[in-house]
Structure 1
Amino acid sequence: MNIGLKDIRHNLGRFLMTAAGVAFLVTASIGMIGLYRGIVADAMVIIDGIGADLWVVQGGRSGPFSESSAISSEMDRRVESIAGVASVRRFVQISQQFAFRGRQLRASITGIDYPKDRGEWVPLTAGRYLENGHFEAIADASIGLGLGDIVRLGQDDYTIVGLAHGMVDMSGDGLLFVTVNDAMAIAQRRTSEEVLLARKEPNAGRTGAGGSSVQQDSKIAATLVTLQPAANEMAVHAAIMAWGDANVLSKADQESLLLNQRLWRLRVQILAFTAVLMLVMAIVVSLIIYMLTMEKRHQIAMLKLIGARNSVIVSMIAQQSYLIGAGGLVLGLGLSHLIFPYFPRRVVIDLPDIGILALAMAAICGFASLLGISRALKVRAQEILS
């Protein structure tokens, strides 16, 4: 006879309510971890998808994602002349808010070097890739644009010829792909107030950040380098670094900069919140098991009176604790798959993370059962008379 299961069946409603409470804590924990995984996945969308071996950025900087970068418009031709370089592409990315049919939309405008790059690495859900050098765009569905829509960016109208899904930056803004030349034209647009200020101060519009002669957002952010199969990456890296006005980052460097610098504080915050949720869960389950044990003092005393071994009592309390944890974990997973697809940010639920969470739940339930067991073992058979 399984005494733990019989007690749960006798108080099924209370068990389900308890498991539901634990399930919400599990759902919150999965959401915190999944949100971080989703932010990392969004941050890596371009780095993983665009297929560059090296990123040539502004000298002394670690752009274009971890900090701003601006390089000469001739940098791609200089890099292309190095032995071992198969192809080069220019890269521009700016964030911009724009009006569309009475709504204010926001997108991360990303320039791809047409015709070398038509955007074939972007996973389309509808439409086609870029086929013209100007005034065409591929938009992520999260922006709120549809296939064939015409949107005003800068001084020109752009037609949405392709739609993608899951192409967002680390801030959650959807990516809007246009050609590099169009992206530069959009970035160079100035308001009437800026024009008036430039007329009053002739040098105001000529000096960007860091003493640059061109505005920071009006220059190429990076040059993407694809190496030949037999190329010596270190030799190419050294040749570019010798110029003095450029920095070279590999794909691994870009990933490290994002994870260990740009997203480091976010990672620590999420881990801290998850630890707090685990602590709250441990306290809640411990109190529940302790109260259930206190309610069963009469039954435990009866078991001891008829000669039941302590292992029977220990097994009963441990079974209840682990069943509450298992029920909460299963319900939490179910709620996660129902709720998180509707979140505005991507929430990634990985099996390894669920496995670690299950181990944490097992440890919490084991600790909670110890409190109930220690109290149950103190119950004497004589208490049956009280």
Structure 2
Amino acid sequence: MNLALKDAAHTPMRFVLTAFGVALLMTAVIGMTGLYRGVVGDALLVIERIDADLWVVQGERAGPFAEGSAVAPDMDRRVAGVPGVADVRRFTQFSQQFAFEGATRRATITGADIPADDGRWLALAAGRWLAAGRCEAVADESTGLAVSDWVELARDVYEIVGSTRHMVDSAGDGLLFVGINDATAIAQKRTSEAIYLARAARGTGEFAGAGSSVAQESKIAAVLVRLAPAADAANVIATIERWGDVRVLTTQQQRDLMLNARLWKLRLQILAFTGLILLITAIVVSLIVYTMTLEKLYEIALLKLIGARESVVATMIGQQAGLIGLIGLAGFLLSIGAAELVFPLFPRRVVILAGDLALLGLALLGLALALICAAAAWIGIARASRVNAREVLA
């Protein structure tokens, strides 16, 4: 006779609710893992897709993503003359608020060096890529803009000619692509009074001590370099960095700076929350098994009185904990379907990969639940072993 199954049949609602709670906690683990994937994917989106071998940024800076950067407006022409460079593109990116249909929206303006940047690295959901003309934009769906919409940025009105999907920055703001000249004009927008004061300050020499080779009006954050097939990257980097006013980063270095500098604390926080959820799961399951054991102290004493061995009691408690674990794993399968329905409604993208689900279900969750249930069973068995058979006569 399987005493655990008999007990489950006697109080089925407790097992169902316990399994449901474990399944919800496992859904939260899936969500935290998917959120981590989404944050990393969004942060590395431009770095990985823009098809650049080298990033020429401001000297002694780690820009343009991990730190602010500004290079001379003609830096692309200087870099283009270096042996081994196949082509160059100017790049800039900054956050911008704008008004659309009576509401304030927020987007990350990304300057594309048209026509050098042909948009081949960008997956369009609708419309077309930017042409050579100005006042055109390609917007991500998360900005609330669609093809054929018109939006005012700075003092110009832009037509949305293309649309993307899931193209956001590390903060979750949708990307809005415009020509590099348009992006510079948007970034330089100032009030008339601010322009007047700036001109007056330059006339008095107030800012003459800046001593920078970069014009103060420059909004170019970096120059993207694609190397020739036979080029030696180390020689190209050494040649450019000898100029002294710039720094050259590889794509891998940009990835490392983004993940290990800008996103390091966020990654640790997500990992800490995931561990906390597993700890809560362990506590919940242990309390349930312990409570079940306390409620059956009379029955356990009766079993011992009629001659049942300690192993019979221990097996019953272990089977109960194992049954909760098995139902929890079954609930994990249901939680996958719930995740597909709920997580797309989240403000940040939650990326659920099949490989992560398999690893989570077969390895992490399976092992975690096994350890949790084993610990819960041990606590229950330890309490049951202290029950004296004579207590049934009290």
Shift of 1:332: 4.1
Comparing 183-192 with 55-64, greater Cα deviation is found at 183-192
The within-5 A match list for 1:131-150 is: 131-150=131-150
Q: 1:338 maps to which residue? A: 341
Q: 1:364 maps to which residue? A: 372
Comparing 334-343 with 363-372, greater Cα deviation is found at 334-343
Q: Which amino acid aligns with 2:215?
A: V
Shift of 1:226: 1.0
Q: Tell me if the contact between 1:206 and 1:214 (Cα under 8 Å) persists in the aligned partners.
A: no
Q: Tell me if the contact between 2:90 and 2:220 (Cα under 8 Å) persists in the aligned partners.
A: yes
Shift of 1:258: 0.9
Q: 1:22 maps to which residue? A: 22
Shift of 1:385: 3.7
Q: 1:201 maps to which residue? A: 201
Q: Which amino acid aligns with 2:242?
A: A
Gap runs ≥5 in structure 1: none
Q: 1:219 maps to which residue? A: 219
Structure-2 separation of matches of 1:193 and 1:6: 83
Aligned residues: 385
Q: Which amino acid aligns with 1:153?
A: L
Structure-1 separation of matches of 2:80 and 2:99: 39
Shift in CA distance, 332/321, structure 1 to aligned 2, threshold 3 Å = farther
Q: 1:378 maps to which residue? A: 386
Structure-2 separation of matches of 1:271 and 1:345: 17
Structure-2 separation of matches of 1:182 and 1:190: 15
What do residues 127-166 of structure 1 show as CA deviations (whole Å, max 9, x unaligned)? Answer: 1112233111111100001111011111211111111111
Q: Which amino acid aligns with 2:258?
A: L
What do residues 159-199 of structure 1 show as CA deviations (whole Å, max 9, x unaligned)? Answer: 11111111000001000111111111111111234224325
Structure-2 separation of matches of 1:126 and 1:15: 50
RMSD: 2.5
Structure-2 separation of matches of 1:14 and 1:124: 51
Q: Which amino acid aligns with 2:313?
A: I
Gap runs ≥5 in structure 2: none
Structure-2 separation of matches of 1:159 and 1:42: 25
Comparing 119-128 with 349-358, greater Cα deviation is found at 349-358
Shift in CA distance, 133/360, structure 1 to aligned 2, threshold 3 Å = farther
Shift in CA distance, 188/206, structure 1 to aligned 2, threshold 3 Å = farther
Where 1:277 maps in the other structure, the secondary structure is helix
Structure-1 separation of matches of 2:295 and 2:208: 73
Q: Tell me if the contact between 1:115 and 1:133 (Cα under 8 Å) persists in the aligned partners.
A: no
Comparing 189-198 with 302-311, greater Cα deviation is found at 302-311
Q: 2:164 maps to which residue? A: 164
Shift of 1:336: 2.7
Q: Which amino acid aligns with 1:341?
A: P
Comparing 60-69 with 109-118, greater Cα deviation is found at 109-118
Identity %: 57
Work out whether 1:47 is the aligned partner of 2:55.
no
What do residues 309-338 of structure 1 show as CA deviations (whole Å, max 9, x unaligned)? Answer: 544433332332233344345154443333
Q: Tell me if the contact between 2:92 and 2:221 (Cα under 8 Å) persists in the aligned partners.
A: yes
Q: Tell me if the contact between 1:139 and 1:160 (Cα under 8 Å) persists in the aligned partners.
A: yes
Structure-2 separation of matches of 1:118 and 1:339: 37
Comparing 224-233 with 317-326, greater Cα deviation is found at 317-326
Work out whether 1:242 is the aligned partner of 2:235.
no
Shift of 1:40: 0.9
Q: 1:118 maps to which residue? A: 118
TM-score, normalised to structure 1, is: 0.91
Q: Tell me if the contact between 1:59 and 1:247 (Cα under 8 Å) persists in the aligned partners.
A: yes
The within-5 A match list for 1:291-302 is: 291-302=291-302
What do residues 210-235 of structure 1 show as CA deviations (whole Å, max 9, x unaligned)? Answer: 7545347x421111111122221111
The within-5 A match list for 1:72-111 is: 72-111=72-111
Shift of 1:108: 0.3
The within-5 A match list for 1:175-324 is: 175-202=175-202, 212=212, 214-215=215-216, 218-305=218-305, 307-324=307-324
Structure-1 separation of matches of 2:289 and 2:74: 70
TM-score, normalised to structure 2, is: 0.90
Shift of 1:38: 1.3
Structure-2 separation of matches of 1:69 and 1:281: 46
